[in-house]
Amino acid sequence: MNDPASFARQAVERLRAEVPGRAIIAASGGIDSTAAALLTEKALGDRARAVFVDTGLLRQGEVDRVGELFRSSGLRYDVVAASDRFLGALAGVTDPEEKRRRVGTEFIRLFEEEAGRFGADRLVQGTIAPDWIESGGELRSTIKTHHNVGGVPKGTRLVLVEPLRDLYKDEVRALAHHLGIPEPNRQPFPGPGLAVRVDGPVTAERVRRARVANAIVEEEVERAVEAKEMPRPWQYFAVLLGTRTVGVTGDNRVLGEAVSVRIVDSVDAMTATAASPPRAVLGKIAERITRDLAGEVVRVLYDITDKPPATIEWE
Ligand code: XMP
């Protein structure tokens, strides 16, 4: 991409050429799909409709935050509430790739239904280069099935349109800035949501634990960044581990769960370095997680692995 303004102009022209009829836009509230949605609305006007799915796998306060983001970006959108549907699709699934496939399939089914109602035959997604490169589009082996690439079932009647597929994350940030999307520096959040931050079975209860732990990590890191105790990391979150571990509450030994805290620095998510936050910040995170989830989460670990060899997310 040479400059965001000319990229945006060309993308709008391409979208007009690629979409003769109507399109629905898979809008997650991340900067990728928000940028794709704004370009599509510019190109198609009333022939485009952005759909935001509440999967029940979102972060605390996400539905309100996304609504606010879309409103201030000037994007028209509809919300579809679908928690039961996604939790149902994930019931009993522990394999990370299978989770991604199930979430991807559920998304596509839902978008097919929504497209049917709107009379659309195109689905616009905010896929960017690292998504499809890591899903096996260029590398020989599949590192990970990104829900918005590998999860698309064969035989869907929707034609995919991916206006950002050649961009890397830092280019999308520049584009988002150009398009007037507020808060373009907000950290990324994976499409399959908390399903890939719950190691092992995904139940409503375990998703709630992951959600509470994620919110605490976000709050404490953001507080420390604002207080200039640490530089702003690329991404910071919690993962509910698939292991049981012993803790103590009062005089009792309890068998609870463990959470891993991940805080990384990166430029484009292709590689990443485990950050070294102040020990006091980590201590506060551990204290709050084990207090707010008392008897449920009894141990908090800090992940010191770079990418590679690890990925940023656990699954
Ligand atoms: P990994 O874990 O592969 O993640 O090192 C690289 C970056 O991508 C985010 N991520 C996703 N984004 N759909 C997305 O749109 C996904 O399925 C997905 N999985 C991971 C991850 O949070 C990190 O920023």
Give the domain range for residue 68.
Answer: 4-179
Query: In this structure, is residue 310 part of a structural domain?
Result: no
Range in 26-30, 130-134, 230-234 with the lowest mean pLDDT: 130-134
- In a domain? residue 102: yes
- CA of residue 190 to ligand 1 center, whole Å: 5
Q: Choose between 281 and 250: higher pLDDT.
A: 281
- Nearest-CA residue for ligand 1 atom 9 is 190
pLDDT on residue 150 = 44
CA distances from 57 to 23, 62, 87, 273, 311 (A): 25, 10, 8, 26, 20
Å from CA of 248 to ligand 1 middle: 35
Among 27-31, 78-82, 108-112, 143-147, the least confident range:
143-147
Ligand 1 atom at minimal distance to the Cα of residue 126: 15
Band (pLDDT 50/70/90 cuts) for residue 189 is confident
Q: What pLDDT does 113 receive? A: 96
Checking if the pLDDT of 289 tops 90, the result is yes
Question: Do 150 and 210 fall within a single domain?
Answer: no
Q: Which are the contacts of 176, defined by CB distance < 8 A and separation ≥ 6?
A: 31, 34, 35, 184
The reported pLDDT for the residue numbered 185 is 57
Q: Give 129-172 pLDDT, tens digit per residue.
A: 988 876 666 544 445 555 554 445 566 789 999 999 999 988 99
Tokens of 297: 């989460």
Q: What is the pLDDT averaged over residues 188-199?
A: 93
Q: For the chain, give the percent of residues with pLDDT over 90.
A: 82
Q: Closest Cα to atom 17, ligand 1: which residue?
A: 146
Ligand 1 interacting residues, C-beta cut-off 6 A: 131, 134, 144, 146-148, 188, 190-192, 235, 269, 307, 311-313
Of ligand 1's listed atoms, the one at least distance from the Cα of 147 is 17
Instruction: Confirm whether 31 is domain-assigned.
Output: yes
313: CA distance to ligand 1 center in Å? 7
pLDDT in tens, 86-102: 999 999 999 999 999 99
**Rg, Å, the chain Cα set:** 20
- The CATH number of residue 135's host domain is 3.40.50.620
Q: Is-cis flag, bond preceding 188, omega within 30?
A: no
* Nearest Cα residue to atom 20 of ligand 1: 190
Beta bridge partners of 81: 54
Q: Are residues 150 and 244 in the same domain?
A: no
Examine the domain organization and report whether 13 and 83 are in the same domain.
yes
Instruction: Looking at the structure, tell me whether residues 67 and 145 fall in a common domain.
Output: yes
- Tell which one of 185, 305, 312, 314 to mutate to probe ligand 1, the residue whose CB is within 8 A of the most ligand atoms: 312
Say what the pLDDT of residue 253 is.
Answer: 95
Whether residues 84 and 113 share a domain: the answer is yes
- Residues 241 and 295 sit within 8 Å (Cβ to Cβ): no
pLDDT at residue 134, rounded to an integer: 67
Q: Does 230 lie in the same domain as 150?
A: no
Residue 206 lies in a domain: yes
Positive or negative, the CA dihedral 103, 107, 108, 113 is positive
User: From the centroid of its chain, how far is CA 93?
Assistant: 19
User: For the chain, what is the mean pLDDT?
Assistant: 92
Last residue of a domain, one of 179, 207, 235: 179
Q: Which helix (H) or strand (E) holds 255?
A: strand 252-265
Give the Cα separation of 238 and 262 in Å (integer): 6
Q: What is the pLDDT of residue 141?
A: 46
pLDDT reading at 210 higher than 50: yes
Residue 21 or residue 144, greater confidence: 21
100 and 128, same domain (yes or no): yes
If asked whether residues 96 and 131 sit together in one domain, one would say yes
- Residue of 148, 313, 314, 315 best suited for mutating to test ligand 1, as the one with most atoms within 8 Å of CB: 313
Q: What total of structural domains would you count in the chain?
A: 2
Nearest C-alpha to atom 18 of ligand 1 is from which residue? 190
Residue 192 lies in a domain: no
Tell whether 307 is covered by a domain.
Answer: no
Cα(81)–Cα(23) distance, integer angstroms: 20
